[in-house]
Every structure is written in structure tokens, then in C-alpha cells.
Structure 1
Amino acid sequence: MRNLARLSAVGAATAVLATALVTPAQAAATSWGACAGGPGVDPRQECTTLHVPMDYRASGGQTISLAVSRIKTAKPALRQGVLLIIPGGPGSPGLNRPSVQVKRLPQDVLDRYDIVGFDPRGVGQSSPVSCDLETRDLALTRLKPYPDADGGITENVAWSRRIAEACARNGGPLIRHISTRNEARDIDRIRQALGEKKISYWGVSYGTYAGAVYATMFPERTDRVVLDSNDDPDPRRVARQWLANYAVGVEDRFPDFAAWAAARDGEYGFGADAAAVRRTFLDLAAELDRKPLPWPGANPEELNGNVLRETMLNALYSDANFPMLATLMRAALTSGELPPPNTPPVAAMQNTAAHSGATMCNDVEWPDSVSLHQRQVTRDRAAHPLTAGMPVNMGPCAFWPYKPAEPSVRVTSRGPANVLLIQNLRDPSTPYSGALKMRQAFGQRARMVAVDSGGHGVYLANGNTCGDQAVTAFLTTGHLPQHDKNC
């Protein structure tokens, strides 16, 4: 649930004004209209609604809506096609991504593409789902399965059962049909509705896996594919591996924060070198395990060791977040006043939790052995103390009431050589080691640009000029680098 690490940045998705009425077997947008106003919505962005099958195996059955947006190129004579932005998560909205990215994308890219966004099925304005979870179950230290302070998982087992039962009871029929395969099919309906023979897209985080699945299911319908901050596509594990990779990614990335804090030892007092900062963090987390501090307004209303660990994970997504973590640590160490908690909106939490859980559980089966998970947690806490066993702990998928309707997709090298992977070497969420598995799966279809940087998100985010230029060149010319490249 990588999106849950960034829920504080998720606002309400923009409403869609134009609705297209079509037959269940089609997804042709008949009209576009102005998007509902909201903070940051570009006046050029227009919206429509597509209707697609809830169950692609039931021709003529119930349909659901997909909210789609676009900002057209200002230079139609140079137009290459559309560039669809596939959001991460799973569970992140994407309807207003065109308004965000037109402020950042190079003009050469904007001249050649209509920039297209969408809310995935079940998210935001696209027939949203909710499991109607209790407030206590929306804590980020529950939505990521942190074990108890002593390493036990009894509470996780109870929570996992409670979440699975709530989703079965409250999720409605759609929750059974949220999967990466169906997101890929939805993307192809968007392509059809836009009147494009082929589609280019930029997938980030979970969007890399969705993009890889699309490129595998519909290889001849892809034009230029950019996959940014890549998931391990192991078809036997899928999201189980993504969660496990947090342990690796955080260990890869934490030294960047430790070096930053050590350089500011006079301000924060965590230690004059990276090793000392690491000891300070681990000691503080252990102390907060034993004696949590009151933190009114947070969920839970205390700063405990797991809340500190989750705050740390969030902070590692971008160097810009380092001061936030350091300020919280300093306050806890000095008995100072804790900063105001940044609590995501409940509605967004409910929607994201339901969609994220459904995607992860419907893509692949998960083991339900409590003893297996306890052994995994015990080993992982020793090997990767920064994440304290969370990445391999038990979650709702162990008790999910539905079996996957289809096998997970095995990404292969069959198809055109039109896939560019871009990857930070020190990504806390989708580590480089997992991205190499994606590179291996695509074979000669792909090239990888590895960027010597930290954080989650590369192109126009935590990357560098070399990496950004490589992506821009591919989008504007269609030519992959001759070889994998280091920046």
C-alpha cells in the first residue's frame, strides 16, 4: 500500500461534468466538458466519463464509470498522440494529474501529446469503493501491518480478519473486480475512447506494474512506455513482494537522511556521523515502543515506535521531507511540543484502503498461516530493524473471502522494444533490486536508466538532469538508448 505513505497529499478528486451514455460493450466518449473547479485545476483540463464492464467476462453485464481528463496539445501539427499518466498506489487518484504535470513537463513533450489522466476503477470519481472501516483501522500503522512493540502479531491477525470481513460486507460487487488485469483492460478502453491505435503512457510506482501488465496484455497497442520507480513483477508474489521490498528500500535510503542529519548535528543533536544518527533513531523508536507520548489529533493519539517508523518511511520519499522527521525526533528526544499531526481525510483513507486492499488481494493468493508470518516477522525485525517486521507481516489478504478470478500476469519480452525504465538507486518504496527484476522480465523490449539519487519518483521529481533528459528524449523521438544507462 505505497499510496498510504502519501495519503496526506491526496485531496478529493475533481468531479466530472460530462457523462457519456454507451452500450456495455463499448467505451466511446461522446462528449467532453469542463471539469469541476478546484484548487490547482488547469482551465484547459476537460473531463468525460466512460462506462466499462464491471466484469469483463460478463459481456452485457453491469457497467461502472471511469472518470477521464485531458489537456490537449497546443500544437496539433506536432502531435504524436496521447500520454496517459497511470497513477500509483494502488488506490491513488489520477484525474487531475494533467493539471499538475503541464506545469512540469518540458515544452517539447507538451507540444507532442495530449496529457491524459484518470481515476482508476474504484477510486475517486470512478465508481468509488469503500469498506467502511472503523476509525481505529484507518491508522497508517494499521494500514501498513506493523507488529506489536514486542514483535507479536496477535493484533495484526485480529485486524486482518476484521478488514477482510468489513470489505466483504461493505465493499459491494465491485470490490471483487478490482485488479491489475482489469485496470489494464480499462486503460485499453480509454485508448479506444480517445480514438488512438496506440497509446503512450507514464506509470509511476504501482503504475509501473499496471503499465507492465498493459504492455504484456496489449503489446501491439503500446507506443512509448515510461515506467518510473519500478515494482518487482514476480507473478508468484506480486504485492507480497512489494511490501517485503520496503525492508530493503528503507535500508537503502535511510543513510541519505542519516548523512543529512549528521551534517546538522548542531541543530538536531542526533550524532555527528550517519552511524550515530541511525543509533539515535533506533533507540528513540524502542523508547517510544515502551513509553509512547500523547499526540492529540493523531490516529492513534500517541507517538509510539511504529508511528515514528511510519513517519520515517514517509520522510524518505523526498529529501524535502527530512526536516519534518528531524523536527519530530528532536521534539520527542527533548520532551518538546510535538508538531501538529498531518492526518489524511477520512473519506480518502476509506477509498484508498479499500481499493489498495482489493487490488493486492485479487491479484494473487496470500498465505494464511499465522505461525509462518510470526516467523517471518521475527527474522525480518532482526535483519531490518528500521521497519521492525512490518514488510512481511500478516494482512487482510490472508483472510480475503474471494479467490483471484484470474492468474497474475507474467511480464515477458514479447512485444515491441518501446519500454524505458527509470529508477533511483535509493528508493525506499520500490528499491533498485526490485526494478532490476522488472528490467529482466522485459528483456530486449526495455532499457533502464539508473539515477544516482534517493527518493520515490524519478522523472521531474527526485531525479537529475541526465535522467530527465533521457526520458524526454525517448518521449519526443521514440528512440530507446542503445544500452542501459547510469546517471
Structure 2
Amino acid sequence: MKQITKYAALAAAVGVVLGLAGPGGASATPADPLKWATCEGPGLDPRQQCATLDVPMDYSDPDGRKIQIAVSRIPGEKPSAHRGALLLIPGGPGGDSLADPSGKGQKLPQSVRDAYDLVGFAPRGMAPSTAVDCKLDPSDLGMTKRLPWPAPDGSVAENMATARRTAEACARKGGELIRHISTANEARDLDRVRAALGETKLSAWGVSYGTYVGAVYSQLFPHRTDRIVLDSNNNPDPTRVTRDWLAAFEVGVEDNFPEFAKWASRPGNPHRVAATPAEVRSGFLRLAARLDRHPLPWPGADPDRLDGNVLRQTMLSSLYDPDDYPTLAKTILAARKGTVPPVPEAPPESVLQNVAAVGVGTICNDVDWPESAAAYQKNVYDSRAKYPLTAGMPRGPMVCAAWPYEPKEPAVHVTDRGPSNILLVQNERDVATPLAGARKLRQALGGRAVMVTVNSTGHDAYLANGNACGDRTVSRFLATGERPDRDTYCA
């Protein structure tokens, strides 16, 4: 099985059918029990077990070609307290949770680890599940290519060219599977996992993109859900899906950059970049504009220069977690002097190729994107004027602008129909999944959910960048089922 890797967080920055009808609405057919074996890879808890499960590649043809889903688990620690399985749903699209039972699962309180088998998985397309790979040109794998950062003058012409190259490569080399990678199919796979585990219902902790997977699962299989935690939440608008998540970076950066600016102007900070928060912001914008005009050579980096968009992408990545603020500050301080920081360590190309292919398949198959370069161009210019920190990127054309296939089904419409067993936890300042989008999911779920808003900064709340009040609330819900009576705020 796949080794623990620090590259799993990479997917977070790449970035998401009514009722019970349709090919995935019915309960999954009975599955053979999973055949557990010792997991491969360093750093895993010796208790962690691994298995594979065959699922249909195309759920409209359930007797057709099968693909494999890799699954992991650590059994509950107190058999007398056993409640079921807690599925750890990763972010992305392009992340996996195979190592999570040994990793973040061990941060869960003892009462939760006693009651649940902790279950991870690699979504369809992600190695070591049956994997996809578009065999992209390595020059198209960098984050400033995979996210549509426009040219210094705001032009999206190069973004459209990148979209066409990527879409053509995936159509030629991604195989039949890439057409069947979608959030709805991931949810259907998870119900097959549930059946193979021998569970009547699943509990889940979904993070980031995983909150959308959890919401879709709860919509398609409402009576198969037990206790559902959705952590760092996306807008579930079925007409836009990932387009809205990309656009949300405008607001997310504006919500979070002031926190970086306060930190980066604090007296005594060894990475202080300015005397006041206002000077941090204005200085960043000036430096990005200068690097747009005069990039610095950066041998060994991807790309091989430090330009304005690389600085902006460094900013975006660093705002995910306040612990990463020094990375942005060091880059700013070096660039001011006309130098560059050390080359950041990059994931292996095979990992980048796999993550990129799964991300492309998911975002393009979930919902149709406009093809008009002119429409994207206007939106980028408007965004640049209103949100200068992100320079128009959140309104730019991703690969889906050139995707040659129509979605095989409408995006799932998340509604308030189903049991009231969902708890949303959301940081107030989250660069990737801003509070504004979380409120949209909360609204869609209606009486099915309660939301805990946490006065904290960073992406991922529970047991990560949240606070003790939020952590206690989620832990209590998982352990006992007790949930706040109404939406609440953790100061």
C-alpha cells in the first residue's frame, strides 16, 4: 500500500442527484468482506491493516469493468464500546487518507478511538487504487500552471493554451477511467466500502473537498449515515461546484492576509517585513508587480524563476496554516534583496501526475465549465480590480474550459432531506474554504445540520487550526452523539 507522504496536503491547493433515484441512489449491492493484510510503508501504526475492494468503473453498467479501491483501517480499541466505522474523507480532489488512521486519526480522543474503526482510503484514480495519469508535460505540473494565474497584464491566453494542452493529454492518455472520476462516483464507492466493512451505517470526518464528498454521500445514501462531521466546508452550488471553490480564493485571501500582515509587522518577529500591517500589504503588491516585470532566476525551482505569480502562489499556499507564514516572509525578504530562498522540496513527478489527473477528472466531470475565453477574460479583469492580492486567478480558466467531454450526470443537489445528524465545523478565517461558502452548505442542509463557527485562522479546523472549544464540540458529537441545539460560535 501507499507509503505515508507529506505530499498529501498538495491536493488542497488545487483546488467538490436528487434523492434516491438514479444509478447511485440505490443501496450498494452486498460486497465480499475485505481481506485485511499488513500495510506496506514506513511510519505506519503496526495495527493498521490494508485491503482492496472491487467496484464498478461505471455505475450505470454495474456488471461491467471493475476497478480497485484501496482501503485501510485501525480497529476500534475497545470492543465493548464499538459503534461502527469512522471514515476519514480526504481533501483534494487528489488527496487520499490511507495513512490517516495512523496519522491524524491518532489525535482523536480515546473515547472516539475506542468506539470506531478508523478507516482511510484512496479515491478512485488515486494510486494505489486503480490509478489515472494524463502524462502531462512536466512544465504543466507546477501550481502556477495548474491554477490559472494570468499573465502580468491580466491576459488569460496562456491559461487557455495550458487548458487545451492538459485536456488533450488527458483525453489521449487518461484512459476510460478518467471519464468516470467524479464526486458522485466517489460517494458510490464509499457505500461499497461500507457494505464490505459489514456496517449498516457509516460515520465520517470529511475535510475540505471531503466535506463535499460527505455532503454528497449524505444526499445519495441518507439512511446509511450515522454521525457526520464536515470540517472546512465548500459551497455545494450544483450549477458551479469547483468554479465557486476557485472563485472563493478572492474572499479567502482577503479574510486571511490581514492575519499574516499583523504577524509580519510584529516587533521582535525575526521575519518581520514591515512596520505596520498596511505596509505589509502595500509592499507585497509592489513586490509582486516588480517581479512581474523583472523575474529573478531561480535554478532548480519549478518554474525556474521567481516571478509575480510564484510570489502570489507562495502567499496563497502559506495562508493555509499560520505555521507557514515564515515561508512567505522569507520569500519576500529574499526577493527584495534580489535573491531567492532555497528551492522548495517538490513531490516526485509520479505523485504530481496522479494528483493532477484525479483533480482534472473530478472538477471537469462534476460540472460543465464555460468555453469562452472572452468571458473568463472579463471576469479576470473585474477580479483584478476588486481583489488585487489574487490578481484575477480565481476567475480564470482551468483545464475544464477545454474539456472535451460533457458531464455524465448533473452535479448532486445537496438538500435538507434526510436525518439530522451532520455537524459542520468551520474556522472564521479560512483561505481555501471561506466562511461565506460554508454558510451556503449550512443553508443547503437546513435542519439536517448544525454549524460551529470557530474564531480561528487557517484551513482545517478540528484538531488542527481550530480551538479547544471547537475541538471539544466535535469530539463530544463523535463520542456521544450530543450536538449543539443550534448554530454556535466558539470564541
TM-score, normalised to structure 2's length? 0.93
Report the counterpart of residue 232 of structure 1 in structure 2.
Answer: 235
CA distance in 2, matches of 1:163, 1:266: 42
SS of residue matched to 2:102: helix
- Residues 181 and 286 from structure 1, CA distance in 2 versus in 1: closer, same or farther, beyond 3 angstroms? same
Aligned match of 1:274: 277
Q: Does 1:248 align with 2:254?
A: no
Q: Give the one of 421, 425, 435 matched to 2:424.
A: 421
Tell me if 1:59 matches 2:66: no
Distance in 2 between residues matched to 1:160 and 1:343, nearest whole Å: 22
**Which residue identity does 1:207 align to in structure 2?**
G
Q: Are the counterparts in 2 of residues 292 and 302 from structure 1 also a CA contact under 8 Å?
A: yes
Question: What is residue 351 of structure 1 aligned with on the other side?
Answer: 354
Does residue 363 of the first structure (1) align with residue 366 of the second (2)?
yes
Q: Distance in 2 between matches of 1:463 and 1:338?
A: 30
Structure 1 pair 269–88 and aligned structure 2 pair: CA distance change class (3 A): closer
2:132 counterpart (129, 132, 155): 129
| Change beyond 3 A, Cα 1:396–1:67 | same
- Alignment partner of 1:36 is 2:40: yes
Q: For residue 433 of structure 2, what is the aligned residue in structure 1?
A: 430
**1:30 CA drift (Å):** 3.9
Residues 252 and 246 (structure 1 numbering): CA distance in 2 closer, same or farther, change over 3 Å?
A: same
In structure 2, the partner of 1:15 is none
Residues 454-473 of structure 1 show CA distances to partners (whole Å, capped at 9, x for unaligned) of 11000000000000000001
CA contact (8 A) 1:29 1:48 kept: no
SS in structure 1 at match of 2:71: strand
Letter of the 1:241 counterpart: D
Q: Which amino acid aligns with 1:93?
A: D
Cα displacement (A) at 1:382: 0.9
2-side partners of 1:116 and 1:346: how far apart? 28
> Shift of the alpha carbon at 1:27?
3.5
The answer on whether the counterparts of 2:13 and 2:432 sit within 8 Å (CA) in structure 1 is no
Match of 2:86? 83
* 1:386 is aligned to 2:396: no
The residue type paired with residue 57 of structure 2 is M
Asked whether 1:212 is paired with 2:215, we answer: yes
The CA distance in 1 between the partners of 2:339 and 2:176, in whole Å, is: 49
The whole-number CA distance in structure 2 between the counterparts of 1:177 and 1:416 is 29
C-alpha spacing 1:264/1:150, structure 2 compared with 1 (3 Å): farther
Q: Give the total of aligned pairs.
A: 471
Q: What is the identity, as a one-letter code, of the residue corresponding to 2:112?
A: V
Over the aligned positions, Cα root-mean-square deviation in angstroms equals 1.7
Measured in 1, the distance between the counterparts of 2:103 and 2:269 equals: 37
Give SS of 2:73's match: strand
2:438 and 2:49 mapped to 1: Cα distance? 34
Q: Is residue 150 of structure 2 the alignment partner of residue 109 of structure 1?
A: no
Instruction: State yes or no: 1:159 paired with 2:176.
Output: no
Q: 1:270 deviation in Å?
A: 2.6
Q: Say whether the 8 Å CA contact 1:25–1:53 is kept in structure 2.
A: no
2:266, 2:272 within 8 Å by CA — same for their partners in 1? no
What's the offset of the Cα at 1:183? 0.4
Matched letter for residue 167 of structure 1: C
State the partner residue of 2:407.
404
Tell me, in whole angstroms, the C-alpha distance in 2 between the residues paired with 1:154 and 1:128.
31
Q: Which amino acid aligns with 2:419?
A: P
1:324 aligns to 2:359 (yes or no): no
Shift in CA distance, 139/188, structure 1 to aligned 2, threshold 3 Å: same
Whether the 8 Å CA contact 2:159–2:397 is kept in 1: the answer is yes
Per the TM alignment, residue 402 of structure 1 is displaced from its structure 2 partner at its CA by 1.1
Q: 2: distance between equivalents of 1:200 and 1:30?
A: 18
Task: Work out the CA distance in 1 between the residues paired with 2:286 and 2:33.
Answer: 57
Question: Counterparts of 1:190 and 1:146 in 2: how far apart (Å)?
Answer: 38
Q: Deviations over 1:348-394 (max 9, x none)?
A: 11011110111000011110011000000000011111111111101
Report deviation, 1:29.
3.1
